[in-house]
Amino acid sequence: MAAAGDDGYGTQFPASSQFVTAVGGTTLTTAPGTTRGWTESVWAGTGAGCSAGQVKPSWQSDSGCADRTQNDVAADADPDTGVVFYDTDGFGGWGEGGGTNGGPSEVTILTGRFRQREEIRVIGASTTVVMDEVTFFA
């Protein structure tokens, strides 16, 4: 797993490598009355794009990039809608933060939990986890 970066459009190594699962960033917005309870869109700060010189992995079939497309999955990374944390060093106390650096950890933890409980199928360097009617890629 590798974070896509927080510099906006453009690829960044190692996320652009064909040998990792690149985790981009999204913005979550509450949407009362919807099935999910929120909407999700691409976070403007996430790294993304077509990597130059990296072979497109077998699990990518888009026509937008001749080489590897960065990203494979995404997690909430917008500092305005980001993750709540408790800091025992630095400023101390509760805070909210963002950026794509947290995404790989979140996706790895979720993947591990799904592996404990659900059907697992490996496809190339990607793992497809089927849970009820929802399919997660990690």
Rounded to two decimals, the pTM is 0.71
Q: Assess whether pLDDT exceeds 80 at residue 124.
A: no
Domain assignments of the chain as residue spans, ordered by start:
2-137
Phi-psi region of 124 (alpha: psi -120 to 50; beta: other; left: phi over 0): left
Cα–Cα dist 97/7, whole Å? 16
Query: Of 59-68, 81-90, 91-100, which has the strongest mean pLDDT?
Result: 59-68
Distances in Å between the Cα of 127 and the Cα atoms of 6, 69, 101, 112 are 25, 17, 20, 11
Residue 21 and residue 106: Cα distance in Å, rounded?
A: 13
* pLDDT at residue 122 is higher than 50: no
The top-level CATH class assigned to 2-137 is: alpha beta
Q: List helix spans (H) across the chain.
A: 103-117
